[in-house]
Every structure is written in structure tokens, then in C-alpha cells.
Amino acid sequence: MMIQETPEQLFNKLRIESHDLKLHSYGLAYIFNEKKNMYDSLIKFLTFLGIVIPILIGLIALGYELDSFTLKLAKTIAIPISIFQCLVSALALVYKWGDNLLISSELSHSYAILSNDFKMLAEYPPDEYEKFKNEFLSLKKDYEQKGQHSPKIKEYELRKGMRYALRQFQVKCYECGIIPISMESTNCGVCGKFSFRHKF
């Protein structure tokens, strides 16, 4: 015989699920924010090289004679740097750094909003269970759709994102039972193992 859950049990179940998805959403917001910062730094570095090298050669050419040792030395240094810049530019085009920057920025923002929505729903749920359930299912659907259309995330990134969320909301990890106080990697399979040695 199937035991029917009480209204209070149903409410608590939804609140627990809302808190869980609050953590997952916040962790994903952190992950995509990290990706956004990485792509932003790479693009800025590439732009810097593209501006500085030609200007530097031009200024040296203006300041020294065309057959001077300084200009020849500058050209000798600039050539390999320019080759490196071309290779990095090709990588940026092939791997779509600009598109990835935009996608990561949008996902970081939308997951942060979603995390806050789950948080508010868990802490201030509607009085009626059906309304609570409908709002939860609507947010969960949004969460699942984002997951289907988001770039693939590695396991170590998920663990790092979870640690960040647990630390932010001061929640114990369900595996190691510790509330993280730093972003230092541990041996926990849920909120750790994201250091360099676990990435490969």
C-alpha cells in the first residue's frame, strides 16, 4: 500500500528541491563567469598585441635611421611575436572566442537570476501547494532548457562551481559534510578535485 504524503511533506520536498537547484544554478553562474573572464582576457591580450607591435615598429622607424641596429633588432623581435599573434588569431577564429565570450556572459547572468528565483521560491513559497508546484516546475523547466543549450562543462568545473555555491550560501556538502570556507581544492568528489592534477 502506497503511503500518501502530507501537504507539509509535499511543501518541504519542493522547498528542498528549490534550495538544491538554487545551489546548482549559482554554481553554473560562477562557472560561466569564469569562462567569460578567460575569453575576455584572451581577446584583450590579442587586441593588445595587434595594436602595440605595429605602433612600436613605426615609432622606432621614425626615431632611428632605417638601417640602424635598433630598428633591425626591433624587427627581429617583432617578427616572431607577429607570427605568434597570427597563430593566436587563427585559434580565436576557429574556436570562436568572441561568440564564447558573449554566450558565457549571457549564461552567467541568466543562471544567477535563476538561482535567485529558486532562493526566493524556497524561502517565500506561495501558500497554495499547486501554485508552489507550478512555479517550481516553470523554473525547473527553464533550468533544464538552459542546460540543454549550454556549452559542455567538464566534471571538475561542476565540482568547483558547487564549492563556490556551498561557500556562498554556507551550506554543508552532502558528501564531505563540510561548509567550504575557501576555494582551495580538496579530495571531495562533490566540492573538490578541481585542482590541476584533476583536470586531465
**Per-residue pLDDT, 196:** 78
**Per-residue pLDDT, 3:** 66
Q: Is 140 exposed, middle or buried (0-12, 13-18, 19+ CB in 10 A)?
A: middle
| DSSP helix/strand/coil, 143 | helix
**Per-residue pLDDT, 82:** 79
Identify the H or E element spanning 128: none
The half-sphere exposure of 174 on its side-chain side, counting CA atoms within 13 A, is 4
pLDDT greater than 80 at residue 4: no
**Per-residue pLDDT, 101:** 95
**Per-residue pLDDT, 200:** 55
Residue 126 cell numbers, joined: 506561495
Provide Rg for the chain, Cα atoms: 25
| DSSP helix/strand/coil, 187 | coil
Over residues 61-102, the pLDDT tens digits come to 766 666 677 767 777 777 888 788 888 888 888 889 999 999
Contacts of residue 136, Cβ cutoff 8 Å, sequence gap at least 6: 14, 17, 18, 121
**154-178 core/surface letters (b: 16 or more CB in 10 A; e: else):** eebbbbbbbbbbbbbeebebeebee
Over residues 19-51, the pLDDT tens digits come to 999 999 999 999 999 999 999 999 998 888 888
**Per-residue pLDDT, 191:** 95
Tell me 197's DSSP state. Answer: G
Contact 156, 194 (CB under 8 A): yes
Phi then psi dihedrals of residue 174, to 5 deg: -75, -15
pLDDT greater than 70 at residue 1: no
Rounded to 5°, the CA angle 20-22-25 comes to: 110
Over residues 93-149, the pLDDT tens digits come to 888 999 999 999 999 999 999 999 999 999 999 989 999 999 999 999 999 999 998
**Per-residue pLDDT, 198:** 67
Q: Taking the model in full, what pTM does it have?
A: 0.86
The half-sphere exposure of 56 on its side-chain side, counting CA atoms within 13 A, is 17
Over residues 155-192, the pLDDT tens digits come to 999 999 999 999 999 999 999 999 999 999 999 999 99
